[in-house]
Structure 1
Amino acid sequence: MFTNIRRRLVILNTIVFLLVFSILGIWLYVHMQYQLYHDTDEIMVQAQKRAQASRIPSELLQSNDLDPEHDEKITYLFWSDQNEFLGQTPQQSFPLDMASLFKDQSNTQTIRTVSIGDRSYRALQFVYMPKHANTPIIVCLVKSLQDVQRTLHSLMWDITAGIVIGGIIFVFAGIFLAGRALVPIRNSWEKQQRFVADASHEMRTPTAIIHAQTEMLLRHPTHSIEQESPHIAVILKESKWMGRLLEDLLTLARSDSNQLQIEPSFITLDSLLRELAEQFKLLADTKGVNILTELQEPLLLWGDDGRIHQLFTILLDNALKYTPSTGQIKVIGRYQGNSVYISVSDNGSGIAEDELPYVFDRFYRGDKVRSRTEGGTGLGLSIAQWIVEVHGGSIRIHSETNKGTQVELFFPRKKQQTD
């Protein structure tokens, strides 16, 4: 799939490149053609003005000494008012039959292009009254466009070569850039595919358990609820677990699509953490785990009360799950510079060093953070990370195997909190 996308991107980008540079090349060629023709026409107009201003006798017009300083390779052709060819200067520039092709029978006195064979010329015809003469003569100025055409031909080859070479370079650059551009898309796609596969796998197990337990109930339709209570308890447990998993999946899906909106307000964080610690102490006492708190008072945080409550529920729940009997969980909260600093630590089994980079991945299969036997869905830390980041904070985890884990959180401290 990504190979086809990459190929399409390269083809599309190359087509756009060729179109853009072809348009620029055409514009450059047309502009240069216009400029060269304009310069040629300007030379001829100036030559016409000099000739008309000179008022020299007609016999001198036909000499090779006519305006040698400004001739600019212009040939002067002369006709009488009776259309009789009088001559040309420089002499023998054109054969007689060829010279007649430059004569404009309409006498429009406009600059025009005359093509003879494979050569083109610019011609300007006007009526001239020589000095000491009673009859006018017709003068036609002719200038070859060979230099102009040579310049335009060279420019055309340069533009074509530039587009071709640039296109080839752009193809290879496009392949490289398209590959770079597709890396995050490929990673996102693979992550999504892995997420869907993991979610399906997680759903398959409880579904199979519920299906098996239900079949067991159907085998004994005459049994009482009390007799089948173990099977019913398993179904209830797995249903609750599936409900929690679906809720977590929905939370992450909404967070990915930016559909979850937070409603921030000032939270008395020390009170919230103290209340949560008291709630978890009921479970911790049954396990022989001690929960300690060191909280600065008052400790204010600008955030969504519900999401912050969910965040620390996840962290305390994880800490309690993986802390053995006689273990300890410690919650620290204080202002630290321009941040609100929170630490949740335990002296439990810890996380292996090679697993730490992946603890926030959804459904990561670590022994500690993704153990389904402890009742977790494997999505808690992913949700926790999202909650922290959506509040503009950061989260870090430090852990050593058999020594414990520390989760550090930093939230921005609002100005009102410093008053």
Structure 2
Amino acid sequence: MFKAIKKFSSLRLKYIFKGDKLFDSLRLRLTLSNIIIMTILLMLFVISTYFLMEHQIFNQSEQLVQNIATAIESSSAQQLEQFDKADYFYIKIKESGEITQAFSTNPHFGPKELSEFAEGILRKKSSKGDFDWHDLSFTFLKVPQKQQQGLLIVSVGLNRELMVLKFLLAALFITGLICLGLAFYSSLYLANRALIPIRKSWQRQKDFVADASHELRTPLAVIQTNLELVMGNPKETVEEQEEWLTNIKIEVSHMTRLVEDLLFLARVDSEQQLLERSNFSLDRAINQVVKPFIPMANNKGIELKIEVEPEVDFYGDEKRISQLILILVDNAIKHTPINGEVRLKMWVVGNDVDILVSDTGEGIEEQHLDKIFERFYRIDKARAKSIEGTGLGLSIANWIVKKHKGTIKVSSIPGKETAFTIRLPKEN
């Protein structure tokens, strides 16, 4: 039995370490996934922006050469003046290939350069398009001359526009890198934030397994010890071994309640534990729950005072509300000494119902008040061993109250009293 428990503990440690590695891996995967998505989106943005601007530049250039060609054909010097700031030139060529007129706003283009450029464009079959010459880019247009036979070639330089386009591409690339860097840290931050509820759930599960194994270890050890005593005296009668068998029965009963509470909380964590709401008489339900505690309290010399307002209709889960009252009253009686007093009171306040369960027991120190609803939390573990219970009751009670959209508060004066105050809406 002890070997099995030891093996279970070692497996639990492996489970914890594996869980830590799993979170690191999951955080890395989430971060990388976000970065990959951001990279793809940024690339699409940069590429689409670049090609959109390039298309716009070439469209404007084509429109510009068309306007210049129109102004040249009209032989209007006034119309051509508006294009003086543009980097353009035009060439008029006869059908024989002789250049009759050439003009350029670029001083670096002389007759020789213009002649070479014209030969290059004439070799192209298309009437308009782009042309690269000596590491320079141009947009050109070839149209028949209206006033005489031949062609008119108009070309606009694209170098300034392409430089702007390259600068835009570099700026987009640098901005993209910065955005990716920010996206990395943002994704890491968001991944950590996204993992917080998962970590809490994982931690709760680890604590659940650890606490359950700890709580089960003691009754299992007691059962094993008593069974060894029984088996060590095979000739004795059942009556003679009643003490050991009674101990086994008590521990089995304790384990049964513990397993039931653990299963209840497991269903709560997986959201499988749902409320079955209906209208019922709250005062009748409370009286039914408290009735079996009266002789128990009398046997301990405890006065159990019950003040329940009659004819109170309530909408909720009758079974869980009864379980809530049972947990609080049972807890109060267990922690109240002889000649003490336990009080249960229920009354209506507007659309709410208030329930008070108080006792004159040992009380709870202030530093424990905000922790007593945690699972397996024990104020005094040494003293808790002498008090029957699983350490899960108040956690279950807290869940029942919250599911009914109510509140539960605890106040205590150490050595004098403890009071649990519950407020529940009559219709929730």
Q: TM-score, normalised by structure 1?
A: 0.90
- Alpha-carbon distance, 1:65 to partner: 7.9
Give the aligned partner of residue 302 of structure 2.
289
For residues 369 and 271 of structure 1, what CA distance do their matches in structure 2 show?
A: 38
Give the aligned partner of residue 97 of structure 2.
83
SS at match of 1:70: coil
Give the aligned partner of residue 99 of structure 1.
118
- Alpha-carbon distance, 1:195 to partner: 1.5
- Alpha-carbon distance, 1:231 to partner: 0.9
* Partners of 2:136 and 2:159 within 8 A in 1: yes
Which range is displaced more, 342-351 or 362-371? 362-371
* Partners of 1:330 and 1:344 within 8 A in 2: yes
Deviations 1:365-406 (A, max 9, x none): 322899242110011111111111122222111122112111
The change in CA–CA distance for 1:369 and 1:37 in structure 2 (over 3 A counts) is farther
2:397 to 377, 384, 395: 384
Q: What is the number of residues matched between the two proteins?
A: 401
Residue 40 of structure 2 is aligned to residue 26 of structure 1? no
1:172 to 178, 185, 189: 185
Deviations 1:349-371 (A, max 9, x none): 11111111111111113228992
* Partners of 1:370 and 1:376 within 8 A in 2: no
For residues 142 and 295 of structure 1, what CA distance do their matches in structure 2 show?
A: 100
Residue 87 of structure 2 is aligned to residue 73 of structure 1? yes
* Partners of 2:316 and 2:427 within 8 A in 1: no
* Partners of 1:335 and 1:341 within 8 A in 2: yes
Which range is displaced more, 336-345 or 191-200? 336-345
* Partners of 1:351 and 1:368 within 8 A in 2: no
For residues 383 and 395 of structure 1, what CA distance do their matches in structure 2 show?
A: 12
Q: How much is the aligned-residue C-alpha RMSD, in angstroms?
A: 2.2
Give the aligned partner of residue 115 of structure 1.
132
* Partners of 1:362 and 1:382 within 8 A in 2: yes
For residues 266 and 296 of structure 2, what CA distance do their matches in structure 1 show?
A: 31
Give the aligned partner of residue 362 of structure 2.
349
* Partners of 1:66 and 1:89 within 8 A in 2: no
For residues 365 and 79 of structure 2, what CA distance do their matches in structure 1 show?
A: 100
For residues 331 and 51 of structure 2, what CA distance do their matches in structure 1 show?
A: 73
SS at match of 1:207: helix
For residues 268 and 66 of structure 1, what CA distance do their matches in structure 2 show?
A: 97
- Alpha-carbon distance, 1:82 to partner: 2.5
SS at match of 1:398: strand
* Partners of 1:327 and 1:347 within 8 A in 2: yes
- Alpha-carbon distance, 1:173 to partner: 3.1
Deviations 1:285-338 (A, max 9, x none): 001111112222222221111111111111111011001111111112122233
Residue 144 of structure 2 is aligned to residue 127 of structure 1? yes
For residues 134 and 394 of structure 2, what CA distance do their matches in structure 1 show?
A: 84
Within 5 A, what are the aligned runs for 1:36-55? 36-52=57-73, 54=74
Q: TM-score, normalised by structure 2?
A: 0.88
Deviations 1:37-80 (A, max 9, x none): 2222222222333344x1x4xxx9xxx88712235332112211
The change in CA–CA distance for 1:65 and 1:270 in structure 2 (over 3 A counts) is closer
Residue 216 of structure 2 is aligned to residue 197 of structure 1? no
Residue 294 of structure 2 is aligned to residue 273 of structure 1? no
Within 5 A, what are the aligned runs for 1:194-273? 194-273=207-286
For residues 340 and 208 of structure 2, what CA distance do their matches in structure 1 show?
A: 34
% identity of equivalent residues = 32
Which range is displaced more, 119-128 or 338-347? 338-347
For residues 400 and 275 of structure 1, what CA distance do their matches in structure 2 show?
A: 30
SS at match of 2:370: helix
